[in-house]
Amino acid sequence: MSDELFRIWVYLSATPLLGLTLTLVAYQIGMVIAARAEFHPLANPVLIAMSIIAVLLWATQTPYKTYFEGAQFVHFLLGTATVALAVPFFERIAALRRNAVALVIGLIAGATATLAVAIALATLLGASPASVASLIPKTVTAPIAMGISEAIGGIPTLSAVFCIVTGIVGAASGKVIFDWLGIKSMTIRGFSLGANAHGIGTARAYLVSAEAGAFAGLALGLHGILASLVLPWAAKWIS
Amino acid sequence: MDSPILRGFTLLLLLQLAGEAVSRGLSLPIAGPIVGFVLAAIALWAVPLLREPLKAAAGALLPHLSLLFVPAGVGVVLYLKELRQDGLAIIVAILVSTWIGLATTAWVGEKLLPKSPKTTAGAGDTDESRS
């Protein structure tokens, strides 16, 4: 009996089906919990889903590579979703034109501030130069960050990790910070989430309102373009 | 049978493909999906016929944006133990810098936002105060 079960497990764990199904199931559990918590920022569905899966992989001694063979089908759609963000962006182009100056200056100010603080703090606390370099593109969406990291002497995988952590931190803390500053405009709240917490912040903004989501997507796109152009050049100039 | 979502999804993939091709072909420093985003925005503006299918596909995909980060997120959890050396420095740097970035973008944006008088506010963009 247990031999039979083991045989089935060995077979299933080698097919992409298991990783893919696990991803969808864990995400829906995450969504149910997040909904129960009335979408409290700390009940982030991504965080819940990835914790469930990580614990399961650890408990069954399944390598990440095996899991990813199934999960890659979901992961792949990140690029497609980035293209799809053009739709909400286009639908709000009039509001964008009205607020373009405020948004672009806000984006540059935030990006500069976060970069300066991150480099200064990490250096001060004794992080290695490679870690600090990997930290630089953390506010950009992960696939872009990995490219930038490579160009400026960081470690791309490490940058991807920092990106995800940044996204989760941003998505979890945006509400508290905006409320504290008394910022009510969904345009600004969404834009700031997209600018500082890229895709995960954008996903969070979508949970709150379509307006916030659209501006988060816009910020993500703008930041991706600006950072790809400026960061490698700035890094060369500094070093 | 004609399905706007299927047509829209095909268009999204074509635009993503075009974005990758342009990014690689011209060795642009900008990643393929972001070039695709720009191409899609141009397509939406220039070809009204594409709006309906693209809206349908984006409307199906974007509400589940969170899901797409799960596989990469799992990789992060498993990678965390490799960070031990610099872990604390990095975590503190990420926490504080992210908070400062969120506050700065929002504060500067809010200060510079043209004050739209309430009487002329568009119907579509005033779902404020909800959060």
pLDDT value for A138: 80
Tokens describing residue B22:
């342009």
User: How far away is chain B from the Cα of A3, in angstroms, using its nearest Cα?
Assistant: 29
Is A92 touching B (CB cutoff 8 A)?
yes
What is the pLDDT, as a whole number, of residue B82?
65
Instruction: Work out the number of other CB atoms within 10 angstroms of the CB of residue A69.
Output: 17
Q: What percent of chain B has pLDDT over 70?
A: 83
Q: Select from B70, B92, B107 the Cβ nearest to the Cβ of A49.
A: B70
Nearest chain B CA: its distance from A103 CA (Å):
5
A208 in reach of chain B (CB within 8 A): yes
Domain parsing of chain B, residue ranges: 4-112
> DSSP string spanning A49-110?
HHHHHHHHHHHTT--HHHHHHHHHHHHHHHHHHHHHTHHHHHHTHHHHHHHHHHHHHHHHHH
Measured in angstroms, the CA of A1 and the nearest CA of chain B are apart by 32
Q: Choose among A53, A57, A77, A69: nearest CA to A15.
A: A69
Q: Which amino acid is at B129?
A: S
Residues 54-93 of B with CB under 8 A from A: 54-55, 57-59, 61-63, 65-80, 83, 85-86, 88-93
Q: Which residue has the higher pLDDT, A173 or A4?
A: A173
Interface check B125 vs A, CB under 8 A: yes
Decide if pLDDT at A109 tops 90.
yes
- Min Cα distance A150 → chain B (Å) is 12
Instruction: Select the residue of A85, A138, A185 nearest B94 (Cβ to Cβ).
Output: A138
A158 contact residues in B (CB cutoff 8 A): 83
Q: How would you write the pLDDT of chain B (131 residues) with one tens digit per residue?
A: 578 899 999 999 999 999 999 988 998 777 788 889 899 999 999 999 999 999 999 999 988 888 988 988 888 777 776 666 778 888 899 999 999 999 999 999 888 887 654 433 343 444 443 34
pLDDT of residue B119: 35
Give the residue from chain B lying closest to A100, CA to CA: B113
CA angle B38, B44, B46 (to 5 degrees): 100
CB contact under 8 A, B40 and A83: yes
B10: number of Cβ within 10 Å: 12
Chain A residues touching B36 at Cβ < 8 A: 79, 82-83, 86
- Inter-chain CB proximity B98 and A170 less than 8 Å: yes
The encoded tokens of residue B60 equal 């199906």
Of B129 and A213, the structure prediction assigns the larger pLDDT to A213
CA distance A207 to A196: 17
pTM: 0.81
- CA B50 to chain A, closest CA, distance in angstroms equals 11
Separation between Cα atoms, residue A11 and residue A16, nearest integer Å: 11
